[in-house]
Structure 1
Amino acid sequence: MADIRPFRALRYNTATETLSAVICPPYDVISPQREASLLAHDLHNFIRIEYAKTLPGDDESCNRYTRALAHLQEWLRDEVLKQDEKPAYYLHEHTYSYGGEKVVRRGLFARVRLEEWDKMVVRPHERTMAGPKKDRIKLIGTLEADTSPVFGLYQDDGGSVGSVLNQVSQWPEAIEFSGEPGEYHRLWVITDLEAVAAIQRAFIDKPVYIADGHHRYESSLAYRNERLALDPKLSADAAVNFVMMSLTDMADPGLLILPTHRLIKGLPKNLLYILPERLAEYFNVESLDSIGESWNKVKDLMKESSSRFFIYGLNGKEFLSLTVKDQTKVERFMPSGHTATYRGMDVSLVDHVVLEDILGMNPMDEERIAYDHDLDSTVARVNSGEFQFAFILKPVKPETIKDISDAKDRMPRKSTYFYPKLPSGIVVYRLRD
């Protein structure tokens, strides 16, 4: 189904550049402190292209996008970046640590033909916001390049893709470099004609599911449509008809999806007082006692597949476990047009039943709601008094993403967090033929 092809990537010249010094996180997770650190670290750090600084006095002719273009042109001229001579797939092994264990996630950099959502060739699972797309469209149009990959998933039930990648991973020509603290990367450039053909054949009947990077995908699609409107005779194989993606098997043992816990502040005392009683109208509420006694039990319950979420800090250092009493009773709070999978998700119950109905809040009220992907950190932020309490959610499983996407549904905002984020700067896709 998906048209997945090799491409001639722009890559750092490893004869002159140290990759560990020049790659950077994707634009949407770079904090101001990390930005300053990356800018000071190396004159050729990719942040200067991926997320160039906004400066006072910027205008249409001089701004963050034109500065990114100037760096790109300079680095190409000085051969800091070079374009590969042959089209290639790029096998990427991303090693990281989580929970005290070393984990490896495998991805394949490729260019994927852009398709409108209704064709169900590339399938989303969440909605996007307009602001981030405007930024990415401007960057793509100015640079004529995809600077960071969309993270996609596929099912490899027959193992056809995996068998080829297993062979490639035995090749000795890997490029090895470190990344963020505790992270390590290996990259293989696949130009062998038999391997390239085998990978293309293996993807013929597979849709692609977007894991992370919905904004980047929709920005690329919008830019393609702009170009097509200007030139209706644009070749179907023109570079702008494709987007750079990193593709990972849904069954990859290194695929880690973290939950997005909700931390709450700014609620009046009277609302906090009646909250336990209101919760009991819709949920079975079980106290798991103090944090020391219940910590392991919470972590065990978070592994189960049934609908269950937790609240921490409503009654001191106590965890509450909540399950639905009567599904028909909570159904009336769910937005119309959503699937049973959506209606049964923990995040849907929290957003629509508790936040919207019981607390009268907008689930996107970021003045009173913060998000954290780490359980220890979430608990600590409540204990410190920064937040009044927190909703602790279970991680979403890959099969839930597939079910939602296959049904043309979308999850609530901030339902998934894929860890770790793919770095930017390993490969760049140029939208020039």
Structure 2
Amino acid sequence: MASIIPFKAVRPTRDKVSLVASRSYQTYTQAEREARLDYNPFSFLHIVNPGYKYDLELKGEDRYKLVKNRYLEFKEDAIFMQDNLPSFYVYKIVNREGNEFNGIVAAASIDDYEKDVIKKHEDTIEYREVVFKEYLKTVGFNAEPVLLTYPDNDKLSSIISDTQKERPEYEFTTTYRDTHYLWVINDAEKLEVISSEFSKINRLYIADGHHRSASSVLLSKEFEEQSLNNSYNYFMSYLIPESELLIHEFNRLVKDLNGMSKEAFLIKLDAMFRIENRGAILYKPSKKHHFSMYLDGEFYSLYLRKANYNISNALDALDTQILYKTILQPILGISDMRNDKRLDYSHGKSDLVTIKSKVDSGEFKVGFGLVPVSIDELKSIADEHLIMPPKSTFIEPKLRSGVTIYEF
């Protein structure tokens, strides 16, 4: 049973939230980051990049301490405030394509993570877990929720819908053309109903934020024998119903044909796929176990010869795994999909034109298009305690940092 509780968020004031909210640091180009740091003194980027004012690139403990200093300065300057009452936060995002996401920002239980009530489908890198754990330990806050999804629930949907009839605490549109809304729920009766409904849910699934949640678990274990407040036993999450989760595919690009000619490569593929040349017309697969391929100025459709491929579990049936087991590893010689420099990825929000342009430019030799992973596939992988190949899903919504902050 899931333990989801309210918390006292630290938040920007209403007049400054649009200036504070930022995408993840890594998603900005250097020019974009510098422009925001130069001309927006309220951007959350000033907190996560504290060395900018000194023209220094800081790392490790030195950076973490300055992050905490900048954060405290934002609080001292009344850019941030903390709610007086524990609250749930109804959060709505409408992206530039018109997709709508409605969920609740809350604190999720570390104990649920360890007991497999909160389920995972991606592997994590121990080094990154430890680094982020040390970061959290020093700065004392988390500013970006883990994205969790739950089975659609009529009672929770009704509460979210009724809350949204009131004036939102926040309403702002970003330069990325996403519009964000936030409502605060601190009525004791409503808080109890929300927590009670989540307690009836047996399984939650991490959609995005595996490293953030794993790092929070490490931090909780480090402090479990010390008399610290209960906040270390929870981590900030944004929970949305499964029907609103939007999953895009990650396509694959490879720099060479592993020493083979185009003709030899196609003959190798023929053993596992029925191949059709589609010419110069953009071809996007529409069914599971079907792939598109762009090679030497032409698109091909690849249909898996199912009689030649054994499916024994949910991972075997995943298209990213099929591509790996039938082409990337045995034919193109790519064993390490996380670190092989010959392999790159393009998420499905960038259409097949991206693959075509990168192959036509000579940067890559061949590109493969896939259909998106479904929510049922994601859940099956997690339920069977299996791990998806790297870059199997590009999931929306993408949250902004600094809108709600969880203090330890």
Distance 1:348 1:265, change over 3 A: same
SS of 1:357's equivalent? coil
Alignment deviations for residues 340-387 of structure 1 (CA, whole Å, 9 cap, x no partner):
221011100112221111111132344211111112322222222221
**Contact 1:8-1:84 at 8 Å conserved across structures:** yes
Distance 1:365 1:144, change over 3 A: closer
Residue of structure 2 equivalent to 1:88? 87
Alpha-carbon distance, 1:44 to partner: 2.2
> Within 5 A, what are the aligned runs for 1:135-214?
135-156=131-152, 158-206=153-201, 207-214=203-210
Q: How many residues align?
A: 401
Pick aligned residue for 1:321 from 288, 297, 301: 301
The residue type equivalent to 2:224 in the other structure is L
- The yes-or-no answer on 1:244 pairing with 2:236 is yes
Residue of structure 2 equivalent to 1:281? 271
TM-score (norm: length of structure 2): 0.92
**Contact 1:177-1:185 at 8 Å conserved across structures:** yes
Alpha-carbon distance, 1:130 to partner: 3.0
1:211 and 1:268 mapped to 2: Cα distance?
A: 34
Alpha-carbon distance, 1:93 to partner: 0.8
Residue of structure 2 equivalent to 1:108? 104
1:242 and 1:51 mapped to 2: Cα distance?
A: 26
Alignment deviations for residues 66-123 of structure 1 (CA, whole Å, 9 cap, x no partner):
111111111112211111111111111111123xxx2211121000111365522110
Distance 1:188 1:422, change over 3 A: same
Pick aligned residue for 1:382 from 346, 359, 365: 359
2:339 and 2:57 mapped to 1: Cα distance?
A: 32
TM-score (norm: length of structure 1): 0.87
**Contact 1:126-1:411 at 8 Å conserved across structures:** yes
1:134 and 1:30 mapped to 2: Cα distance?
A: 24
Pick aligned residue for 2:344 from 333, 357, 370: 370
Identity of aligned residues (%): 28
- Between 406-415 and 4-13, the greater mean CA deviation after superposition: 406-415
**Contact 1:50-1:148 at 8 Å conserved across structures:** no
SS of 2:199's equivalent? coil
The residue type equivalent to 2:213 in the other structure is Y
Alignment deviations for residues 376-402 of structure 1 (CA, whole Å, 9 cap, x no partner):
322222222221110111111111111
1:57 and 1:417 mapped to 2: Cα distance?
A: 29
* Cα root mean square deviation, aligned: 2.2
**Contact 2:130-2:218 at 8 Å conserved across structures:** no
Alpha-carbon distance, 1:408 to partner: 1.4
2:197 and 2:238 mapped to 1: Cα distance?
A: 16
5+ unaligned residues in a row in structure 2: which ranges?
A: none
1:423 and 1:202 mapped to 2: Cα distance?
A: 26
1:340 and 1:24 mapped to 2: Cα distance?
A: 40
SS of 2:371's equivalent? coil
Distance 1:31 1:216, change over 3 A: farther
Alpha-carbon distance, 1:191 to partner: 1.0
5+ unaligned residues in a row in structure 1: which ranges?
A: none
Residue of structure 1 equivalent to 2:43? 45
Residue of structure 2 equivalent to 1:419? 396
Residue of structure 1 equivalent to 2:8? 8
**Contact 1:92-1:185 at 8 Å conserved across structures:** yes
